[in-house]
A and B are shown apart, each in its own frame.
Chain A
């Protein structure tokens, strides 16, 4: 449908997206941009122009320590989720036959219970007298319960990875499902070895789904606030916690806004770099 006989209609399809994106996103961005250059005053939001918030808050080493920690936690979550999910998406797309819909719902069902509950479940599993510790004790691997399983970055990664499994399975499945099976079969007929087959046909064709999943997992987890609050412990603090604290406890909206700008800018830059890296890699040598 590359014919342009109904430009108006085409823009109309884009309009709802435009409204939600432009209105809310621009207002949000505008708000933090303006707030981030205000002088902090407990009595008023808009005072006078200053870059103090950037100098004093973004300039603090601890912010960058926490941001880096958040980035690696998110990266770990993204990689773990994608690796765990890909075979399952593959299975549903190619091996499940007419049970596809059933399996998709079964994959999603655990996520219809509230996330806060699932976090409590992870505390039971990883906790002091938890499932993992009891199992290891019974097997005779340990005498004393392991204390490092929960309230640290590790438990944040575990809880987030689990939380985002559906976010990886579904987009990857959507991409895989589109692949024409006859392509793979003809390659096999021509004697391609299974792995080469996968690497040269299936994987490249599923990449848009993998990329979509990676985006949907990596970006929101960087700023996640709930998980580190509940299972992070002191060592698992993430940028979301720092930002939240500035808006609430510290009552310093300019600082919170400046930190948000720094996070958005850093993650945006990282994504742009990755995108151009992928483009370069794809260019035929």
Chain B
């Protein structure tokens, strides 16, 4: 009998302490669902000072996975997807718009981000843009001495099996759309078929479709890859390690992405959420983001606080409004689900 009692006791304790742990976290805590790396203490000193222990961050490594998790029932208060996925979150009824009047530093956000279509409706906004960056080609200057300054480089049969491309509808198929001469944000079936042809042409060149920049940078460092579609931070990191690379300014234009905060529907912690967002839009967090991760901040104040030399080294402009007129902003892509399927099919060999 004894062993059974013991087992019962143990199970009881386990369940009991589990319930206790849950009760403890149900207090006034803001549950923040974000990219891995955005939960570091340096980014939330202000919020932490006002609410010690008031922030619980749950992390993801990919905002498609994050969307799936929330759709399956996970309930954070605030999430941090990218703008190009905003329509998904809206359509699925997972988020609610926020009142602009409660966002203190809204006016400090560069207009180019505030004016993105589908963001603001009247006096409310679906997303508060916070970080942004560029996508282009990082290539080895020693292995491709006179590189054509064009996205076509990733299609050049000379580099068969030696390039990498980003595994996301809003990057590789978008570039293929630009090269195929269609409007990549409004594709009908005929345009999708054209893009598919373009992607199939590229496939033999591609060693890997991935978002794992660790592998991409390593392969560029070893010479296994000669060129790859990357974020701007990769080129900077490689240069620092003494790898001869350059970040291209393709004649068709770099891509620009932006991510931001959305409020999950019916969150019980609205006030905390606004406080958190206001803190994030203050000068220091944005400045930290630029200086440590090499991405851009949406706040003019934060960007202004970064030394111009640092921005230069990071290939970031002081005034994104001017620069972003020349890049291709990654907007909502119509039919993106269909394009996703087509892209998966191409990657798999169809």
Q: Residues on A close to B: CB < 8 A?
A: 42-43, 45, 60-62, 65-66, 120, 123, 127-129, 147, 151, 229-230, 233-235, 237, 241-242, 245-253, 255
Contacts and interface: CB of A to CB of B under 8 A. Distances in A.
B53 interface: no
B68 interface: yes
Given A65-B350, A230-B215, A42 B345 contact: no
Among A45, A151, A235, which residue has the most Cβ atoms of chain B within 10 A? A151
Q: What is the size category of the interface that chain B forms with chain A?
A: 35 or more
B106 interface: no
A60 to B, nearest CB: 7
Contact of B340 (A234, A250, A253): A250
Nearest to A40: B337
Nearest to B170: A249
B223 A129 contact: yes
B208 A233 contact: yes
Given A62-B348, A127-B222, A242-B344, A251 B208 contact: no
B218 A248 contact: no
B212 interface: yes
A249 B168 CA distance: 8
A147 B226 CA distance: 13
Q: Per DSSP, are chain B's interface residues mostly helix, strand or loop, or mixed?
A: helix
Contacts of B349: 62, 65-66, 234-235, 237
A63 to B, nearest CB: 9
A147 B348 contact: no
B129 to A, nearest CB: 22
Contact of A65 (B210, B214, B348): B348
A123 B91 contact: no
B266 interface: no
Contact of B341 (A42, A248, A250): A250
A116 to B, nearest CB: 10
Interface stretch (B18-26, B59-67, B282-290): B59-67
> 6 shortest A-B CB distances, which residue pairs?
A128-B224, A248-B64, A62-B350, A250-B340, A237-B348, A42-B91
Interface string B180-223: 00000000000000000000000100111110101100110011
Contacts of A248: 62, 64-65, 67-68
A8 to B, nearest CB: 13
Contact of A250 (B214, B337, B350): B337
B208 A43 contact: no
A245 B344 contact: yes
Contacts of B219: 127-128
A128 B344 contact: no
B169 interface: yes
A237 B67 contact: no
B348 A66 contact: yes
Interface string B41-72: 00000000000000000000010110110010
A255 B349 CA distance: 19
A253 to B, nearest CB: 8
Among A61, A127, A129, A245, which residue has the most Cβ atoms of chain B within 10 A? A245
A251 B209 contact: no
A188 B350 CA distance: 57
A61 B209 CA distance: 22
5 contacts: A43-B92, A62-B345, A123-B215, A230-B210, A234-B349
A250 B338 CA distance: 7
Given A62-B349, A242-B348, 10 more contacts: A42-B88, A42-B91, A43-B91, A65-B348, A230-B210, A234-B203, A234-B208, A248-B67, A249-B340, A250-B340
A53 B64 CA distance: 21
Contacts of A234: 203, 206, 208-209, 347-349
A241 B348 contact: yes
Contacts of A241: 344, 348
A128 B208 CA distance: 14
Contact of A60 (B223, B340, B343, B345): B345
A147 B350 CA distance: 23
B207 A233 contact: yes
B161 interface: yes
A104 to B, nearest CB: 26
A18 to B, nearest CB: 16
Nearest to B169: A249
Contacts of A147: 161, 224
B350 A251 contact: no
Nearest to B162: A147
Nearest to A148: B161
Contacts of A60: 345, 350
Contacts of B223: 128-129
Given A62-B345, A123-B218, A249-B344, A151 B208 contact: yes
A128 B62 contact: no
A107 B197 CA distance: 48
A201 B244 CA distance: 63
A152 to B, nearest CB: 9
Contacts of A229: 210
Contacts of B210: 229-230
A249 B211 CA distance: 13
A109 B347 CA distance: 36
Contacts of B224: 127-129, 147
B93 interface: yes
Contacts of A129: 222-224
